Structure 1
């Protein structure tokens, strides 16, 4: 287990020539290359017997024979397989590209096992937990945080529509994918937070039973999430022939974003040798700054809140510890492109 613990501490996107991050964004012909297949073979090694993957692993790392043997011995250990931080649905997208380019059946088989894992992990109400098999605690919540559920639904939507490179998926699984995203849409609409009877946006995670905004880690309190809600709205915008309920959901969320954007402020990185990292992230006044939205926002007022590891709400980024300021993005221009381009283009249609 010591080997696996070390691997889990690696960054998903290292700066190496063939990092996992870069491997996901190559031209189509690259996925037929020996290097692409080497990485795909790694992806197969990291896949667990239940079809899922752990998170925060650079799949492009070159593995020794001993490391490969260690991974094979861990395949039956399913505790920890997850959709958090892009895990599982990201590996599946990669395998589909390499299968399309090479036709190697082992990539197809692993992909289909991963899809079965995602379909099995979905709650009956349409939501997805952060970990499957279920891990007790906040991991059980319906998880929008870090694009987890939306990442899964985008993949399943492409499969249901028989889009490339997923057009090798059989009709039975395509049907199940369509049913899964339909249930997922129902819970997205049901979890949109109402304040004084008006729809707003979403929390990063919601209770799986009563759908209320839910707490995760100490600094992730029940709140309205600018980042995660942007991703949800972007998903909704791509629905063909949206229902009136979907239209109302989109317009309500956009109205909230418009009403709660922060102007006249700017987020900057500054050198600061008083910290080990040598830098800090600060918010400064700037007449041309904005729009910005909080990662977490007070449910009643919609104003950004800043919470460190002590779990206490502060009003300014500078009020929380530097480790959190540089390690977590509390305020950014999350919905800027949504408001400037994506939503206006959608509104022209509907």
Structure 2
């Protein structure tokens, strides 16, 4: 009897651990489930179930919506609603959408060669091609949502949307093993490289010039004039101390960069050097209402920071509330935007450290 009880206990314990491990993905974020699970997981029944959700949620145009937890189980009513909205506007590159789902499909197809995964992947890849402007840029949403002038139609560097798309395209045409199982048609691969090259050309054309010298970029640019453009009410045309970082890193990753690319990087690095903010740091205090509140304090030993927005005329940092009025300090804007948005970054510091080695390398070639 004791032996049977012991066996039953061990079996229950093993089952419990196994079940907990197999369902762990349900408590994770979608972007981590999509690309950061152990490789063997993408061949499991759980991954196949998630794959069904991803296939179901793909829009007729080929892309996916943002901020959706595609790995969570769906009810029959939810599935019916998704099917009825497949033609609705909603596909986007914002917050990693579409690119994340495509990377997931490539992973599950590598373990489960279901032709539907490949068809969906190719459809998504064509979505990238068809949504690209003739000038090489991409809007945030496609088809364009809202009316004429909606900021989602702007060429979007915000939240690294365009950079993420370009990095994905480079993976496609450079023979990245993550996509080898798909055995993509050579025409698609060639189109990926053409699309990438056009995107780099757009980056060079949209770089803001000051007295003829290249500087950095705005978070979004007009899709026709290529000029810095406004997005949300508190995201005014500006020099971007944040989004410009990933753009420069992408340019520095190019093999055999042209002189135009080298000039673009040199100009951006010079701008970052001249616009660092020293002797301050961000801290969080508890205000009189017992809420956490972000403040700027003096600190002569603080690491350098950069503002997210710099004025296009004065070159000075500015901050903005939902009223669209520029302010000179973080303390001048309301509590909600002050604490609900990233107004400073230290990301350029890493870029400045990488630059000397990059410069030496290109000078030797």
Same fold (TM over 0.5): yes
- 1:194 is matched with 209
Measured after TM superposition, the shift of residue 95 of structure 1 is 1.4
Q: After superposition, what is the alpha-carbon deviation per residue over 1:94-147, rounded to whole angstroms, capped at 9, x for unaligned?
A: 211222232222221111110101100001111111111123322221111111
Q: Determine the C-alpha separation between the residues in 1 that align with 2:30 and 2:336.
A: 26
Q: Determine the C-alpha separation between the residues in 2 that align with 1:273 and 1:73.
A: 49
Query: Among 265, 270, 276, which residue is 1:261 paired with?
Result: 276
Structure 1 residues 30 and 187 mapped into 2: Cα distance closer, same or farther (>3 Å)?
same
Query: Among 74, 86, 89, which residue is 2:96 paired with?
Result: 86
Structure 1 residues 345 and 106 mapped into 2: Cα distance closer, same or farther (>3 Å)?
farther
- 2:29 is matched with 19
- 1:304 is matched with 317
Q: Determine the C-alpha separation between the residues in 1 that align with 2:275 and 2:357.
A: 21
Q: Could you tell which deviates more after superposition, 60-69 or 220-229?
A: 60-69
Kept after mapping to 2: 8 A contact 1:273/1:279: no
- 2:54 is matched with 43
- 2:240 is matched with 225
Measured after TM superposition, the shift of residue 16 of structure 1 is 5.7
Q: After superposition, what is the alpha-carbon deviation per residue over 1:62-114, rounded to whole angstroms, capped at 9, x for unaligned?
A: 2122212221221122x121111211112111211222232222221111110
Q: After superposition, what is the alpha-carbon deviation per residue over 1:217-266, rounded to whole angstroms, capped at 9, x for unaligned?
A: 11010101111100101111111111010011011101111111111111
The reply to whether residue 34 of structure 1 matches residue 34 of structure 2 is no
Instruction: Report SS of the residue matched to 2:294.
Output: strand
Query: Which consecutive residues of structure 1, in runs of 5 or more, have no partner in the other structure?
Result: 1-14
- 2:301 is matched with 288
Rg (Cα) greater in structure: 2
Aligned residues: 332
Kept after mapping to 2: 8 A contact 1:127/1:149: yes
Kept after mapping to 2: 8 A contact 1:127/1:184: yes
Kept after mapping to 2: 8 A contact 1:138/1:216: yes
- 1:247 is matched with 262
Structure 1 residues 34 and 19 mapped into 2: Cα distance closer, same or farther (>3 Å)?
farther
Query: Among 124, 129, 137, which residue is 2:139 paired with?
Result: 129
Structure 1 residues 141 and 152 mapped into 2: Cα distance closer, same or farther (>3 Å)?
same
The reply to whether residue 345 of structure 1 matches residue 357 of structure 2 is yes
TM-score, normalization: structure 1? 0.90
Q: Determine the C-alpha separation between the residues in 1 that align with 2:200 and 2:104.
A: 25
TM-score, normalization: structure 2? 0.87
- 1:57 is matched with 68
- 2:6 is matched with none
Q: Determine the C-alpha separation between the residues in 1 that align with 2:165 and 2:329.
A: 33
- 2:178 is matched with 165
Kept after mapping to 2: 8 A contact 1:267/1:332: no
Structure 1 residues 37 and 284 mapped into 2: Cα distance closer, same or farther (>3 Å)?
farther
Instruction: Report SS of the residue matched to 2:136.
Output: coil
Instruction: Identify, as 1 or 2, the structure richer in helix.
Output: 2
The reply to whether residue 98 of structure 1 matches residue 108 of structure 2 is yes
- 1:68 is matched with 79
Instruction: Report SS of the residue matched to 1:267.
Output: strand
Query: Which consecutive residues of structure 2, in runs of 5 or more, have no partner in the other structure?
Result: 1-24
* Structural mapping, 1:147-186, within 5 Å: 147-167=160-180, 168=182, 169-186=184-201
Measured after TM superposition, the shift of residue 273 of structure 1 is 6.0
Structure 1 residues 172 and 302 mapped into 2: Cα distance closer, same or farther (>3 Å)?
same
Measured after TM superposition, the shift of residue 292 of structure 1 is 0.8
Measured after TM superposition, the shift of residue 290 of structure 1 is 2.5
Kept after mapping to 1: 8 A contact 2:31/2:100: no
Measured after TM superposition, the shift of residue 177 of structure 1 is 0.7
Q: Determine the C-alpha separation between the residues in 1 that align with 2:303 and 2:327.
A: 21
Instruction: Report SS of the residue matched to 1:281.
Output: strand
